[in-house]
Structure 1
Amino acid sequence: MLTFDILAQVLWTSLATSAPLVLFAVAFALVLKVNRIFNFAQAGVMTVAFYAAHSAVSMAGLPGWVGCPLALAASAGVSALLERVGFRPLRRRRATPMFVFIFTLIVSELIAYLAMLVFGTWPTTVFPSLFWPVTLVGNVAISAWDGPAIGAMLVSLALLFTYLRRARTGRFMIAVADNPDLAELYGIEKDRVYLATVVIAGLLVGVGMSLYGARAQVQPTTSIELMLFAVAATIIGGIGNLWGAALTAVALGVVQNASVLFIPAEWQGFLLYVFLFLAIVFLPNGIRLPERKRGLARRVASVDLGDPAPDPAPARREA
């Protein structure tokens, strides 16, 4: 029987466990919008980030706080390497999007294979134990992992939003996402913007895998499944809509976690493929709001990098 306490527990747990998934979805959506790449190599970056943190904390016995900076450094470094030795040469050779997509698949599978050779296939975690202290708030159990996970996700998104709107390179990213050739005509170096984009996405992935690996077991192929979740959220949320991808990741996380109330737990993974199938077949352009509501929704919940900022000059001239 469903009660308010059960629903509240499912909702809270779903919101907390969605935190790393949101970061994965936003990272994928960011590279897709600015660099125009379906970057399935992000799965490989996620694998590198996790095992960097795992090697430091679980294997080397270093303090737990060391794991996250190492994961960030590893994911950002691998992302930059992929851009310099992979994506940039492919752009210069005018490789087709399909060829670039195949390249990203090969990279992700290669990194997973190397991780199997080095670390084996046994599931493992960042910390030696997955048990976190639990506090009851009313009748809802809140673990010591939940608050920091949600906080880290919100801080990461806030920093990204601020960077895109305030930082010089962030505004360049918006310009390149809108029209890369025109941006280059105005003196913006596209290669530097593409590099900055994949590095920022790598940092988001590093934070996400540090959180995910602290609460769930990971093996070399886990990142590929997480990648599919990010793809589904990006498609349903609308390609190029970062915050649409973030909100969709939360919604899918809630649905997936709430499904245990109706179907056996072993079928939860099946829902991921259902999401992906429905997204590709029925929502290839994402969820579209009615015209009269879309403006408000975009102001509240989305940052569409393809929309230039309005020019206030006409308003001043009319005044």
Structure 2
Amino acid sequence: MLSADIIAQILWTSLATSSYAVLFALAFALVLKVNRVFNFAQAAMMTVSFYAAHATVALAGLPSWLGFLAALAGSLAIALLIEVLGFRTLRRRRAAQMFVFIFTLIISELVAYIAMLVFGTWPATIFPSLFWPVTLVGGIAVSAWDLPAVGAMLLAVAALFGFLRFARMGQFMVAVSDNPDLAELYGIAKERVFLFAMVISALLVALAMFLYGTRAQVQPTTSIELMLFAIAATIIGGIGNLWGAAITALLLGVVQNASVLFIPSEWQGFLLYVFLFLAIVFFPNGIRLPQRSRRLTRKTPTPTLDASPTSDPQKV
């Protein structure tokens, strides 16, 4: 029988271990919302950021803060290459979405194979040990990894949504995500916005991968599995809905952690593909809440490309 302590422990562990999953989902959902690309190459960014930190801390013996900076540099470098040499070129040539999709898959697999050749296939970590001191707080086991991970995730989420709401570039990103052609008519350089979205995604990926690599073992193909989790959260949460992706990633993490009470732990990976199957087949447009009554719904005119140029650009 489940006790209150067991339920509380599952909820806390799920919150802590979902910290990196939330960041992965936000990174994927942001590029999909702004750049309108299913960025499966995010797995390549994750792989490069982890092994950059692993080489700095575990192999070179340098401090952890240098490892985190290396993860940021690696993730940013591969993100810029993907956007400038990949996505931008494909947009210029008006390539079909299928070719963009294939390109992202090839990049992820290519980086994974390079990581295998350089670092091998054995599981690796950033720190030599994955054991963290544990403190009992009201009957709940809280490790020294949990609080920094949750705090970093909450700080990153708050910074992202604050940036999108108040920063000028953040408002431009929202405008481009709504209507890139109309935004460009108002003087917003959409190519620059696309690049900035990839940069923010790279920062989220580096932070998430550093957190994951200090708690679990990583192989060159681990990033692909983590990315699939982010894809499931993005689809179920609603494409273009960043809050939905973050909350869904957290809820899926609770379900996955609670599953050990009913199924063996080795079946947790199977749940990932169950999530993906349900998302694609039953929730291709995300989970939608019941709509309000039509009497309470206020109709808003849909903006068109011939909108008056006297409108305030900040409202685009």
Fold agreement, TM-score > 0.5: yes
Aligned AA for 1:218?
Answer: V
Aligned AA for 1:88?
Answer: R
Q: Distance in 2 between matches of 1:43 and 1:196?
A: 18
Within-5 A mapping of 1:236-247: 236-247=236-247
Cα deviation for residue 26 of structure 1 reads 0.5
Deviation digits for residues 68-97 of structure 1 (CA, Å, limit 9, x no counterpart): 121112111210111110000000000011
Q: Which position in structure 2 is the counterpart of 1:194?
A: 194
Residue 257 (structure 2) pairs with residue 257 (structure 1):
yes
Aligned AA for 1:168?
Answer: R
Calculate the TM-score normalised by the size of structure 1. 0.91
Q: Distance in 2 between matches of 1:166 and 1:67?
A: 31
Stretch of structure 1 that moved more, 91-100 or 76-85 = 76-85
Q: Which position in structure 1 is the counterpart of 2:129?
A: 129
Deviation digits for residues 266-307 of structure 1 (CA, Å, limit 9, x no counterpart): 1011000000000000000000001239xxxxxxxxxxxx99
Q: Which position in structure 1 is the counterpart of 2:73?
A: 73
Aligned AA for 1:7?
Answer: I
Q: Which position in structure 1 is the counterpart of 2:12?
A: 12
Is the Cα–Cα contact under 8 Å of residues 50 and 209 in structure 1 kept in the other structure?
yes
SS of residue in 2 equivalent to 1:135: strand
Stretch of structure 1 that moved more, 72-81 or 172-181 = 72-81
Within-5 A mapping of 1:35-184: 35-184=35-184
Q: Distance in 1 between matches of 2:124 and 2:20?
A: 17
Q: Which position in structure 2 is the counterpart of 1:312?
A: none
Is the Cα–Cα contact under 8 Å of residues 25 and 231 in structure 1 kept in the other structure?
yes
Aligned AA for 1:49?
Answer: S
Q: Distance in 2 between matches of 1:131 and 1:161?
A: 33
Percent identity between the two aligned chains: 74
Deviation digits for residues 181-207 of structure 1 (CA, Å, limit 9, x no counterpart): 111111111110000000100100000
Q: Which position in structure 1 is the counterpart of 2:311?
A: none
Aligned AA for 2:139?
Answer: N
Q: Distance in 1 between matches of 2:185 and 2:65?
A: 44
Q: Distance in 2 between matches of 1:72 and 1:153?
A: 16
Q: Which position in structure 2 is the counterpart of 1:303?
A: none
SS of residue in 2 equivalent to 1:141: strand
Q: Where in structure 1 do 4 or more consecutive aligned residues deviate above 2 Å?
A: none
Residue 224 (structure 2) pairs with residue 224 (structure 1):
yes
Structure 2 unaligned residues grouped into runs of 5+ = 294-301, 304-316
Calculate the TM-score normalised by the size of structure 2. 0.92
Q: Distance in 1 between matches of 2:253 and 2:6?
A: 17
Deviation digits for residues 161-215 of structure 1 (CA, Å, limit 9, x no counterpart): 1111111111110110010011111111111000000010010000000000000
Is the Cα–Cα contact under 8 Å of residues 77 and 199 in structure 1 kept in the other structure?
no
Q: Distance in 2 between matches of 1:256 and 1:55?
A: 31
Residue 37 (structure 2) pairs with residue 2 (structure 1):
no
Aligned AA for 1:44?
Answer: A
Q: Which position in structure 1 is the counterpart of 2:268?
A: 268
Cα deviation for residue 112 of structure 1 reads 0.2
Q: Distance in 1 between matches of 2:106 and 2:278?
A: 25
Aligned AA for 1:58?
Answer: A
Aligned AA for 1:6?
Answer: I
Structure 1 unaligned residues grouped into runs of 5+ = 294-305, 308-319
Residue 22 (structure 2) pairs with residue 22 (structure 1):
yes
Cα deviation for residue 10 of structure 1 reads 1.0
Q: Distance in 2 between matches of 1:202 and 1:67?
A: 15
SS of residue in 2 equivalent to 1:121: coil
Q: Which position in structure 1 is the counterpart of 2:314?
A: none
Q: Distance in 2 between matches of 1:272 and 1:256?
A: 8
Q: Distance in 1 between matches of 2:79 and 2:121?
A: 24
Q: Which position in structure 1 is the counterpart of 2:297?
A: none
Q: Distance in 2 between matches of 1:67 and 1:279?
A: 35
Deviation digits for residues 29-55 of structure 1 (CA, Å, limit 9, x no counterpart): 000010000000000000001001111
Q: Which position in structure 2 is the counterpart of 1:310?
A: none
Q: How many residues align?
A: 295
SS of residue in 2 equivalent to 1:291: coil
Cα deviation for residue 65 of structure 1 reads 2.1
Q: Distance in 1 between matches of 2:107 and 2:7?
A: 41
Aligned AA for 1:206?
Answer: A
